Amino acid sequence: MQVTMDFLNKHLHTSRQRHIKNQALTTAILNSHYVFDKYYKIIDNTPVYTAAVLLHPSKRLNYLNKVWNKKWIKPGVGRVRHLFESQYKDKYLPPSKEQEPTIIEEPSELEKWQRDLAIDTTTNELKSFIESTPITTNNPLTWWLDPINQEQFPCLSKMAIDVLSIHIMSADSERVFSGSRRMVTWERARLGVQSVERNECLKSWNISGLVDRTLSVAMDTTTSGDDTLPQFLEVM
C-alpha cells in the first residue's frame, strides 16, 4: 500500500510538470492531487504502512531515503520504532538454555575486545535490520518465516510477520463476512460464534486444498500403523 501511494504521488507530480502548459489538464491533475493528499495523509495515523516498507528485506530504510521527502523520514521511522518498542521489544526472546556446569576459563584479551565490540541485538534489532543493505526476495513474509532469520531477529520477526500478514485490501474479509451471513440464516440464528468461526475456517481450508492434503498425509500415516487420522477427525 505504501509503495503504491508513493508511486501515485510521484506520478501526479510528474504529470503536472509534463502538462503545465495545458491549463485544463493541469486543473484536473491539481484536483486529483488534492483528493489524493487527503488519503495520503491518513498513512501518518498508523505506523503499519511505513513498517511494511522498513521490514521488507528488499526495501528497508534505503527505500525511504530514495523516495521520501527528507523531512518525512525521521517521524516515519520514529512511529515504527515506537510500535516496536511498545509492543514487541524484549517480549519474544527465546528462553535461555540450561547448560551443564563447565569450567570457567578467563577470557583472553582478544575475546574481551570482541565482546566490547559486540552489538546487543535484542535492543538494536530494528536499527540493525533497516540500516542493512537490502537483499532481493520475492516474498518478504517467507523470508521472515525462515528460522535462521527469526533466530537473528527474535522480536522484530514477530512484528514483521504481524505487519506483512495484513491484507492490502478488505475484499477477502468482506467475502468471509458475506459467507458467514449466508450461513447464519433465521433458522440458524442461535449458532454460536465458535461454530461459525470453525465452519468458515474449514470452508477456507477446503477451498485452498489444505483439507485434502492433510487427509492424504493422515491416510498415509494410518496405513503405516499411526493413529493420526482418528485424532485429526476428532479435532475437525
The predicted-structure confidence for 116-164, as pLDDT tens digits, reads as follows: 555 455 558 999 999 999 999 989 999 999 999 999 999 999 999 999 9
Write down the pTM of the prediction: 0.61
The total number of structural domains in the chain stands at 2
Is residue 155 one of the residues assigned to a domain?
yes
Q: How confident is the model at residue 32 (pLDDT cuts 50, 70, 90)?
A: confident
109 within domain boundaries: no
Question: Is the pLDDT at 171 greater than 80, yes or no?
Answer: no
Residues 193 and 133 in one domain: no
Model pLDDT, residue 109: 75
Last residue of a domain, one of 102, 129, 164: 164
pLDDT of residue 59: 93
Measured between alpha carbons, how far is 84 from 153 in angstroms, rounded to an integer?
A: 12
Q: Is residue 129 part of a domain?
A: yes
184 and 151 inside one domain: no
Same domain, 181 and 216: yes
Could you tell me if 55 and 129 are in contact, meaning their C-beta atoms sit under 8 angstroms apart?
yes
**Domain of 11?**
2-94+121-164
Give tens-digit pLDDT for 70-88.
998 999 999 999 999 999 9
Q: Check whether residue 144 and residue 181 sit in a common domain.
A: no
232: pLDDT strictly greater than 50 = no
Give the Cα separation of 9 and 36 in Å (integer). Answer: 8
Rg (CA), the chain: 25
- For the stretch 16-25, pLDDT in tens is 888 888 888 8
How far apart, in whole angstroms, are the C-alpha atoms of residue 194 and residue 36? Answer: 41
Q: What is the pLDDT of residues 190-230, one digit of tens each?
A: 888 898 888 888 888 888 777 776 666 656 655 655 554 44
Q: Which of 106, 133, 164 is the last residue of a domain?
A: 164
Is residue 83 assigned to a domain?
yes
Q: Report the distance separating Cα 144 and Cα 163, nearest Å.
A: 11
Compute the residue count for the chain. Answer: 236
Answer yes or no: is 114 within a domain: no
Task: From 143, 164, 185, give the residue that closes a domain.
Answer: 164
Q: Would residue 108 count as lying in a domain?
A: no
pLDDT of residue 235: 47
Q: Does 79 lie in the same domain as 47?
A: yes
- Cell, residue 224: 503405516
Whether residues 58 and 132 fall in one domain: yes
